[in-house]
Amino acid sequence: MIANGMMHITLSLAGHGAHPAAWRVSSLPRGPGLLPDWRPMVAMAEAAALDAVFFGPWPQPPGALADHALEVLMPDPLPIIASLIPRSSRIGLGGSVYIAHTEPFHTARAFAVMDNLSDGRTALLADTQGADQQPGDFAHAPRPADQAYGRAAEYLEVVARLWESWEADAILADKPSGHYADGMRVHRIDHAGRFFTVRGPLTAIRPPQGRPVLVMRDASPAGLELAAASAELFLARCASLEEARECRTALLARAAALGRPAGALRILMEFMPVLAATTHAAARRLEELDALAEPPEDAAPCFLGTPADLAQRMLAWQAAGACDGFNLLPALLPNDLGLICQGVVPALVREGRFRAGYTGRTLRDHLGLPAPPPLPRRSAA
């Protein structure tokens, strides 16, 4: 049983839904730039007081570009969540970053700005999956596979140090004196590691959350080890309640062994709901989607049933200690998201297991996550 009985619910949105055939049948209108219009989807999720909405490209499937153009052309999530900041006020917004093919300074700067613009509502989804498997798509030279996670761990440390290079009260904005910032409270990080050399400080003001929430989902042995050391939210895919409970127990035990305090890591289980008024109708919906496009092997576990059935599944898994909540991937937008927000969430609210409205301002508030402990400062070389 989870300590306070309250679960967390986030969404992952991409394209017209999580099922690869969604674009062929979705009624989701086009937004700017011929992209799906996610703005009403985020508004719907915020009206239901969900914790956060995450955006990230699905893994690119093999095959010709023309056959998989929608997946290949999935836009960078960071501009997407930036565009949604002024169109939302409370819900968290997360975007994925390919750790293997980006630089920590630029990631830290982008999220510091977005966290300030959103008053502390952002999450960084650190994508470490397939880090050594896409050598031809990016400018970085291929690295040995055994270096991928060492580089990722150092990358995340540099990002955290850059966010902390400005103390919380470093900004003075004192017009009479002409002093905008207190230089004694802005620090170089002087990082010289195996993969990165970064002097700092960050050229962006400290995020309101101290650090945006760090999310991971890589279930490889090395990915789980990195998550136990660094992640604050882990998105897991487990086929059964027992598997989920074992996953959560093992990950929390490893985090504790690494010296992390209780409550520093939340674990959410991922489902792709296909919902309808009856289980038979939901199964028929899935058959129609599968006939148009076969789901990939690494797809999230599919849930078939009514909104009430899904609410009961979520209540049972959380009560059994299998997770702290759920990251839901609606199979088809807006259909399944509407049923989640208008059917599943009210049932959970009635059971006293989900909030009826937001009580905090930041994403850390929504998730009940503590402020991250400061990293020890290094002296200048």
Residue 60 binned pLDDT confidence (cut-offs 50, 70, 90): very low
Question: Rounded distance, CA 18 to CA 308, Å?
Answer: 21
For the stretch 340-377, pLDDT in tens is: 999 999 999 999 999 999 999 999 999 999 988 888 87
Domain carrying residue 270: 8-134+207-367
Domain assignment of residue 314, yes or no: yes
Residue 5's Cβ-side half-sphere holds a number of Cα atoms within 13 Å equal to: 5
Domain assignment of residue 157, yes or no: no
Domain assignment of residue 376, yes or no: no
Q: pLDDT at position 70, please?
A: 52
Average pLDDT, the chain: 90
For position 52, which CATH number holds?
3.20.20.30
Q: How many CB atoms lie within 10 A of CB 143?
A: 15
For the stretch 161-216, pLDDT in tens is: 999 999 999 999 999 999 999 999 999 999 999 999 999 999 999 999 999 999 99
Task: Supply φ then ψ for residue 372, to 5 degrees.
Answer: -65, 140
Domain assignment of residue 219, yes or no: yes
Domain assignment of residue 2, yes or no: no
Domain assignment of residue 67, yes or no: yes
Structure tokens at 375: 């990293």
Domain assignment of residue 380, yes or no: no
The pTM of the full predicted model, rounded to 2 decimals, is: 0.93
pLDDT at 72 over 60: no
Question: Rounded distance, CA 147 to CA 129, Å?
Answer: 13
DSSP H or E run through 62:
none
CA 218, 107, 194 angle in degrees (round to 5)?
75
Answer whether 269's CB lies under 8 Å from 238's CB: yes
Q: How many domains does the chain have?
A: 1
pLDDT at 23 over 80: yes
Domain assignment of residue 378, yes or no: no
